[in-house]
Amino acid sequence: MTPADIGSDCSSKDSTRPSPNVREKKKEEMAVAVCLERLLAEKAERVGRKAHLKPLTAGWDRVVGIVAEDVPARYCLTFSGGGVACTAWQEPVHLEVRGRARDLAMLFGGDELAYQYAKQQVSTKGRIGDRLKLEALLRLSG
């Protein structure tokens, strides 16, 4: 799964087709949401596998909420006990990352140039220490 899959392969959008009806639009939105969820799960797995990230995640018990504004998708990355998992939305969140699904995919996808672009497109709310730690984890996990 790559960030390019969000909004292309996964959503099956085709500019030559007439505007989709409501059912098709919902189907496309759900496909994008599923792709984003898969990408987040892959990122959580990568962070969990990297031994050099264990000192960053140790003792950091946080819920990071991820909200895609253009599709009905809200997920959490739950950091607990030195591990991380992609979970369904849960409140309260300690840190919220909000943006378009495609930008979120670029942010969590692992490509440095895409990350730099996406970082400017999404909004993040939460304590500065939590934001910096999440940024370090995203960049160091590749």
State both tokens at 101. 């699904």
Is CATH 3.40.50.300 the classification given to domain 3-141? no
pLDDT of residue 64: 97
Confidence of residue 134 (pLDDT cuts 50, 70, 90): very high
- Write b or e for each residue in 67-88: b if 16 or more Cβ atoms lie within 10 A of its Cβ, otherwise e: bbeebebbbbbbbeeeebebee
Positive or negative torsion for Cα 29, 108, 103, 113: negative
Q: What is the pLDDT of residues 4-50, one digit of tens each?
A: 555 444 433 444 555 658 888 888 888 888 889 999 999 999 999 99
